[in-house]
Structure 1
Amino acid sequence: MERIRLGNTVFEGRNNAYLIPGDRPTLVDVGVATDSVRQDVRDGLAAVGYEVSDLDAIVLTHWHADHTGLAGELQAASGAEVYVHEADAGIVARDDDAIAEERDIREQRFDEWRIPKGPREEVTSFLDGHDDMYGNSVDVTPVEDGDRIAAGDDELEVVHLPGHAAGLSAFAFDGDEGREAFVGDVILPKYTPNVGGADLRVDRPLETYLDSLAEIADLDFARAWPGHRDAIDDPAGRARVIAEHHRERTERVLSVLDEHGPADAWTVSAHLFGDLSNIHILHGPGEAFAHLDHLVAEGVIEQDGSEYALTGTAVDVDALVPVPETKR
């Protein structure tokens, strides 16, 4: 397996694509559709003796543009089959109904979160202004949890791990030191993946993501190959650290409501993160919402329209946000 480092000046940065050589050359994730990343992919393939036309399969971890943007043109140049989880297939294929649904949910959430007019216009302009980063339409082969995809000289197993995105999936394989996986943005080595704003279609986003972290810990991969930055040598340990981060954030959200009284998601976000710009105008209140939504479902706070308030119920944060046990 060869890692291809991709630039990315639009989103989080330092993206990865992974080439699996062999009888069925396979590329895992493809980067955003910009000229510089297009050249990064071609140069990375050429460095190990491959061209785009050699690709037989492309596997996508989730629908975000920095993972899927070049899929359409790479497929057109190679004839490669493109695989992505069925929950994200419509958006990757650039299906009008799937895209319209995501945008309708976006407008609904912006109303619910009470994002003010100025920031709302700014983030909408940012998102709509980067539509071209998603590239050309793709003929997608949907997959689901447990499916196996021929890749290189072996196969990849689909492991559905939603939260950051509805269809986010890891692709597991037998590595030199045991079971490994390409994990996209399920876990990252430096940042914590956004939950709540990164994919507005996810129901109960925090609970869903915590379940995925627990599964990462239970699977106990020997190594994880993320969508950004370097390999993670203790994926289960990293999942635990991220869960602990969300436990601390839950405590912060409760403190905001205790100190300032009832508040909407935008106000809670401002207390947590301060002033926000471009994509973070989506991710900040999205993360606040994920925690508020979880606390409502657990009966710890109550929702009245767009406002959230404490109920006075005793709170056991350890039980609300479980941190998975690790086997090492």
Structure 2
Amino acid sequence: MKRIQLGNAVFEGLNNSYVLGTEPDAKTTLIDTGVATPDVREQLAEGLTEHDLAFADVDEVLLTHWHEDHVGLAGTIQDAGGATVRVHADDAPLVEQDEEAWSAMNERQRDLLDEWGLPDAPREELLDFLDSHGELTGPAPTVEPFTDGARFETAAGTLEGIHLPGHAAGLSGFALDGDQGRELFSGDALLPHYTPNVGGADVRVEGPLARYLTTLERIVDGEFDRAHPGHRDPIEDPAGRAREIAAHHRERTGRVVDVLAETGPTDAWTVSARLFGDLSSIHILHGPGEAYAHLDHLAADGVVERTGREYRLVESDPDLDALFPSIATA
């Protein structure tokens, strides 16, 4: 397995694309592709060239989820040599650039921006940012959807697709039992230096924090020896990192309760401002989305109740540990 690091000036730093099968006559599988900007396309092409490969030599593309910095070049690669492109069924319509699916996504996003209480100025800044980055996605690929437990034969061995939703509805990792132990290509389900956004990164996900906590439990239970994330360097203790992220969300939920105790009933945008301060670009979506995910988690257990846009603290001293799996509190 070889890692190709790709630039990413729009989102959260370097992206990783992984190549399985670099030997002559081997089946070549690519996991994620980076955005479709000319410089990243050149970086990916150069990375493949180092292994005597070109876009046309890629036989299969496995995508961890629909975000542009993971799927942008999938259609370009498929056009070059007919590669099979696979992604979880929940994300397949977005990757195929289905107009109806994108329209529903955009409508849901607009509704939530209203529900979260975004003021006009940051809302306009966010929408301008989103409208100005159409170059991140290339031509639409034809996709073969898969579901949890699907198996893919590669030159490195059999990969198992593992559904890990939260950051995105269809986010999936790929597990490999090989010479180096049990490894996970984790996409953005598990990252080494920051926590994947939940709530704003994919507005289709219902109960986003609860879904993500289940994902973190599944990673712990998977007993992986190493994870290869969608951004930055390998994670040598995946279970430990999953526990750390779960504990971070437990702590953040406590901060949300403190904000509500101080301010009284308020909306997700106000909670976000207290948590993160001033926001710009994509973080205008991710900040209140994260606040919303935590407020939603509290509301599901009756700790807060929502009226219109505002959330009100119902329990003054809630048992927050009861809202989280043991991996967050051990």
Q: TM-score, normalised by structure 1?
A: 0.97
**What is the CA–CA distance in structure 2 between the aligned matches of 1:322 and 1:207, rounded to whole Å?**
10
Q: Which of 52, 62, 78 lines up with 1:59 in the alignment?
A: 62
TM-aligned CA deviation for residue 49 of structure 1: 1.7
Q: Counterpart of 1:218 in structure 2: which amino acid?
A: D
**What is the CA–CA distance in structure 1 between the aligned matches of 2:287 and 2:316, rounded to whole Å?**
26
Report if aligned partners of 1:216, 1:236 keep a CA contact under 8 Å in 2.
yes
Q: Counterpart of 1:231 in structure 2: which amino acid?
A: P
Report if aligned partners of 1:14, 1:229 keep a CA contact under 8 Å in 2.
yes
TM-aligned CA deviation for residue 152 of structure 1: 2.1
**What is the CA–CA distance in structure 2 between the aligned matches of 1:154 and 1:241, rounded to whole Å?**
30
What is the RMSD computed on CA atoms of the aligned residues? 1.4
**What is the CA–CA distance in structure 2 between the aligned matches of 1:39 and 1:181, rounded to whole Å?**
27
Secondary structure class of the residue paired with 1:206: helix
Report if aligned partners of 2:187, 2:228 keep a CA contact under 8 Å in 1.
yes
Report if aligned partners of 1:7, 1:13 keep a CA contact under 8 Å in 2.
yes
Q: What is residue 20 of structure 1 aligned with on the other side?
A: 20
**What is the CA–CA distance in structure 2 between the aligned matches of 1:53 and 1:44, rounded to whole Å?**
14
Between 1:312-321 and 1:52-61, the stretch displaced more is 312-321
Q: Counterpart of 1:138 in structure 2: which amino acid?
A: P
Q: Which of 203, 206, 227 lines up with 1:200 in the alignment?
A: 203
**Is 2:225 the partner of 1:191?**
no
**Would you say how many aligned residue pairs link Structure 1 and Structure 2?**
327
Structure 1: runs of 5+ lacking an equivalent: none
Q: Which of 301, 320, 323 lines up with 2:323 in the alignment?
A: 320
Q: What is residue 233 of structure 1 aligned with on the other side?
A: 236
Secondary structure class of the residue paired with 1:87: coil
**What is the CA–CA distance in structure 1 between the aligned matches of 2:71 and 2:164, rounded to whole Å?**
17
**Is 2:289 the partner of 1:256?**
no
Superposition pairs of residues 240-319 of structure 1, within 5 angstroms: 240-312=243-315, 314-319=317-322
TM-aligned CA deviation for residue 11 of structure 1: 0.7
Q: What is residue 180 of structure 2 aligned with on the other side?
A: 177
Report if aligned partners of 1:172, 1:180 keep a CA contact under 8 Å in 2.
yes
**Is 2:10 the partner of 1:7?**
no
Identity value in percent:
56
TM-aligned CA deviation for residue 36 of structure 1: 1.0
Q: TM-score, normalised by structure 2?
A: 0.97
- Measured against aligned partners, the alpha-carbon deviations of 1:73-97 in whole angstroms (never above 9, x if no partner) come to 1110011000000000000000001
Q: Given the superposition, is the C-alpha separation of residues 140 and 59 from structure 1 closer, same or farther in structure 2, using an over 3 Å criterion?
A: same
Structure 2: runs of 5+ lacking an equivalent: none
Q: What is residue 168 of structure 2 aligned with on the other side?
A: 165
Q: What is residue 130 of structure 1 aligned with on the other side?
A: 133
Between 1:317-326 and 1:135-144, the stretch displaced more is 317-326
**Is 2:99 the partner of 1:96?**
yes
**What is the CA–CA distance in structure 2 between the aligned matches of 1:261 and 1:28, rounded to whole Å?**
46
Q: Which of 42, 47, 72 lines up with 1:44 in the alignment?
A: 47
TM-aligned CA deviation for residue 131 of structure 1: 2.2
Secondary structure class of the residue paired with 2:327: coil
Q: What is residue 77 of structure 2 aligned with on the other side?
A: 74
TM-aligned CA deviation for residue 323 of structure 1: 4.1
Secondary structure class of the residue paired with 2:231: coil
TM-aligned CA deviation for residue 149 of structure 1: 1.4
Report if aligned partners of 1:244, 1:323 keep a CA contact under 8 Å in 2.
no
Report if aligned partners of 2:149, 2:160 keep a CA contact under 8 Å in 1.
yes
Q: Counterpart of 1:11 in structure 2: which amino acid?
A: F
Report if aligned partners of 1:89, 1:142 keep a CA contact under 8 Å in 2.
yes
Report if aligned partners of 1:217, 1:325 keep a CA contact under 8 Å in 2.
no
Between 1:121-130 and 1:234-243, the stretch displaced more is 121-130
TM-aligned CA deviation for residue 321 of structure 1: 2.1
TM-aligned CA deviation for residue 317 of structure 1: 1.3
TM-aligned CA deviation for residue 175 of structure 1: 2.7
Q: Counterpart of 2:295 in structure 1: which amino acid?
A: L
TM-aligned CA deviation for residue 325 of structure 1: 7.8
Q: What is residue 152 of structure 2 aligned with on the other side?
A: 149
